[in-house]
Amino acid sequence: METQLDAGAFSVWLSDTQAALRGERGADVPCDGCTACCTSSMFIHIEPDERDTLAHIPKHLLFPAPRRPHGHVVLGHDERGHCPMLVDNRCSIYEHRPRTCRTYDCRVFAATGLDAADGDPRKSAIADRVERWRFEHRTEDDRAAHAAVWEAVVEIRASMPDLSNAELAARAVLLRTGEGTGE
């Protein structure tokens, strides 16, 4: 087994992640050179208001986003499952990266107990990374908050069984503040 990774204090992570999911800030993930999310066949949603991001991505790499209004696009991946903006194992548009990338935090899967790969073997790198994260529970409130997130996963899955694990994880984290149940 690979070395465990310190995911931080659960309550601090939860508060920061909720703010990122609400669009109030970016995620502060201790990636330390990890590019698992960039190499796991992810489609990156980009909204029409992300003009700076869109200006830095070649148009031929963008496609209309399914089930989203006109103007929403996705950045796909290459035949290896890598983001085409990943060059020499680094994001070539890091300062201009999409909001999805700015707010993504793979620890959300560790926090919710959900499979980051969601059954997709192309996402094994991200799943392997997630398995290594360990949260610190400094207080009983930390433990209770973590348990509440797990309970939210069960509750949301029962009412929305078709959600991807990524969508389910984000909603469960937000449900801790009463925001995760909306369609």
* Domain residue limits at 11: 1-29+105-178
- Tell me, rounded to whole angstroms, the distance of Cα 145 from its chain centroid: 19
Determine the pLDDT at residue 177.
59
* Same domain? 173 vs 150: yes
Q: Name the domain boundary from 59, 84, 104.
A: 104
Spatial separation of the C-alpha atoms in residues 181 and 31, rounded to whole Å: 29
* Same domain? 110 vs 48: no
Determine the pLDDT at residue 57.
97
Q: Residue 137 domain-assigned?
A: yes
Instruction: Report residue 137: phi and psi, to 5°.
Output: -115, 95
CB atoms inside a 10 Å sphere around CB 174: 20
Determine the pLDDT at residue 1.
55
Q: Which one, of 166, 149, 159, 162, lies nearest residue 181 by Cα?
A: 159
Determine the pLDDT at residue 183.
41
Q: Name the domain boundary from 87, 104, 121.
A: 104
- 161-176 pLDDT tens trace: 999 899 999 999 998 6
* Same domain? 61 vs 113: no
- Angle at alpha carbon of residue 29, lines to 179 and 67, rounded to 5°: 45
* Same domain? 46 vs 14: no
Spatial separation of the C-alpha atoms in residues 178 and 152, rounded to whole Å: 10
Spatial separation of the C-alpha atoms in residues 44 and 5, rounded to whole Å: 25
Determine the pLDDT at residue 182.
46
* Same domain? 81 vs 123: no
Are 75 and 82 in contact by the 8 Å Cβ rule? The answer is: no
Q: Name the domain boundary from 104, 127, 143.
A: 104
**What letter does residue 71 receive in the DSSP assignment?**
T
Are 60 and 54 in contact by the 8 Å Cβ rule? The answer is: no
Bridge partner list, 97: none
Spatial separation of the C-alpha atoms in residues 74 and 29, rounded to whole Å: 23
* Same domain? 122 vs 170: yes
Q: What parts of the chain have a pLDDT lower than 70?
A: 1, 176-183
pTM of the model: 0.87
Q: Which one, of 161, 165, 162, 160, lies nearest residue 40 by Cα?
A: 165
Domain total for the chain? Answer: 2
